Amino acid sequence: MKKILLLLTVILLTGCQYFQDGKQKTKFTNFSKKNTIEFRQNTIMLTKGYEKTSPEEFKVRLDSLSNSPKFKNIALEELKKIEGKNVDFQLFVDEKNVENYVFIYACDFYQLDEHRAATVVEALSRQLKDEANVQEVRYKRIHGRFFFTPTSKIVKLKYLKGYKLEKKYQAEYIVASRSGGIGLLISNLENVDFENSIKRLAVK
C-alpha cells in the first residue's frame, strides 16, 4: 500500500511539473530579451513590440492620437504624476499603439503581509476611484491580489477605466523586493497586465 501511495505521489508531482513547464513555454513564446526591463536589480520581461522611450518621445506619440482625447489626457496626467515623484523611473511603450505602456518607478519599501496588502489595495482603489471621478471616466475594480515570489512580495490592483465606448485596462503593482520598493503602472487596451512576468521577478 505504501509503495502504491508513493508511486501515485511521484506521478502527481511529475504531472504538475509537466503542466507548469508547458504553461510557461506557451505563455512566454512572444517574450524577448530586448523587451526586458532591468530596474533596481529586478528583471521583468515584456512581450515583443515594447520599447523603452523617453517622456518627450511619449508626449510626441500621444500628440498623434486624434480619436482618444480623453485617454490621451489621462496618459499625460499619469506621466506628470510619475515625474512629480522625483524618483528613478523608466517608460516602455508598444511600438504599434502608444496607448499600451508601462511605467516602472522606485517607491518606498513596504514590509508587506496579507493584512497590510489588503489595506494597500483598498486605499489605492479608493484613490483611483476618486481620480476617475475627477477625470470624468468610469472606474471598475476587477480584482486585487497579494502574492509572493522567491525574492519579492507583490500587491496588485487591476481595474478598468471607460469613457463612452472606449475602455482601457490598467494594473498597478507594488513590489517589495530585496533591492527595495518598486511600483509599476501598466495600461493596455487588450487586457494585458503581465502578471505572469511580474510573478517571475528575479534578482540578479
Domain count within the chain: 1
Mean pLDDT, rounded, of the chain: 78
Cα–Cα distance between 86 and 159 in angstroms, integer? 25
pLDDT in tens, 110-130: 678 888 889 989 999 999 999
* Confidence band of 1 (pLDDT split at 50, 70, 90): very low
47: containing domain: 30-203
Give the whole-angstrom CA distance, residue 76 versus residue 62: 8
Beta strands in 59-204 (DSSP E): 89-94, 97-107, 138-148, 152-163, 166-177, 180-188, 202-203
Q: Which CATH number belongs to the domain containing residue 135 in this structure?
A: 3.40.1000.10
Q: How does pLDDT run across 42-85, given as a tens digit for each residue?
A: 667 777 788 889 999 999 999 988 777 888 999 999 999 999 98
Predicted TM-score (pTM) of this structure? 0.77
Task: Count, in order, helices (H) and strands (E) of the chain.
Answer: 5, 10
Per-residue HEC secondary structure of 151-174 comes to CEEEEEEEEEEEECCEEEEEEEEE
Q: Is residue 6 part of a domain?
A: no
Greater confidence, 13 or 50? 50
Other C-beta atoms closer than 10 Å to the C-beta of 155 total 23
Cell 518606498 -> residue: 108
Percentage of the chain beyond pLDDT 90 is: 43
Among the ranges 23-27, 81-85, 146-150, which has the highest mean pLDDT value? 81-85
